[in-house]
């Protein structure tokens, strides 16, 4: 994708979807918005559970929405929590790696950083991805 990334659009989409978060336990309402390689914008919010451990992060919602809406590769993601920037947790970096790969961009405190920098020496190497659209 050659089009430049509209981070303001992604941030506003993340802020908007965070209002739909189900976070009665942590009270931390997270929203995430991602750009897909075909240009569409997809979003997700965190959905907690009384078990705590089974909480679904906002990025899980994004990945679920990616598949639901036709698949593709993730190009960039912006995550916010209680209206502030959030860096995706370790588990979600692995999840994003599967669907975005090394060159996917994460907005970290306002600065786009490659996923390869945020999840160095990731497993598995991209060459073994099953996804035929892998980079």
Instruction: Indicate which residues carry an active-site annotation.
Output: 59
79 binds ligand THU, rule: CB under 6 A: yes
92 binds ligand THU, rule: CB under 6 A: yes
Q: Which is nearer to ligand THU, 36 or 63 (CB)?
A: 63
Q: Which is nearer to ligand THU, 36 or 95 (CB)?
A: 95
DSSP secondary-structure letter at 119? Answer: S
Whole-angstrom distance, CA of residue 131 vs CA of residue 98 = 8
Whole-angstrom distance, CA of residue 41 vs CA of residue 1 = 14
The 3-class SS string of 55-92 reads: CECHHHHHHHHHHHCCCCCEEEEEEEECCEECCCCHHH
Q: Could you tell me which stretch among 20-28, 67-75, 98-106, 127-135 binds ligand THU (CB under 6 A)?
A: 20-28
Find the binder of ligand THU among 20, 55, 94, 116 (CB under 6 A).
55
Whole-angstrom distance, CA of residue 82 vs CA of residue 78 = 13
8 A C-beta contact, residue 42 and residue 36: yes
Find the binder of ligand THU among 77, 86, 106, 118 (CB under 6 A).
86
List residues binding ligand THU (CB under 6 A).
23, 26, 28, 30, 46, 48, 55, 57-59, 79, 81, 86, 88-89, 92
């Amino acid at each position: 994708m050659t089009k430049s990334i509209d981070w303001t659009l992604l941030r506003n989409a993340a802020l908007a979807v965070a209002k739909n978060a189900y976070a009665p336990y942590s009270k931390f309402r997270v929203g995430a918005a991602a750009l897909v390689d075909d240009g569409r914008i997809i979003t997700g919010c965190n959905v907690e559970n009384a078990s705590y451990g089974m909480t679904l992060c906002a990025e899980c919602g994004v990945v679920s929405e990616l598949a639901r809406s036709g698949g593709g590769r993730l190009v960039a993601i912006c995550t916010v929590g209680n209206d502030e920037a959030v860096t995706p947790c370790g588990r979600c970096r692995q999840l994003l790696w599967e669907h975005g790969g090394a060159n996917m961009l994460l907005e970290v405190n306002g600065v786009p950083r490659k996923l390869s920098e945020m999840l160095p020496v990731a497993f598995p190497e991209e060459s073994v991805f099953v996804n035929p659209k892998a980079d």
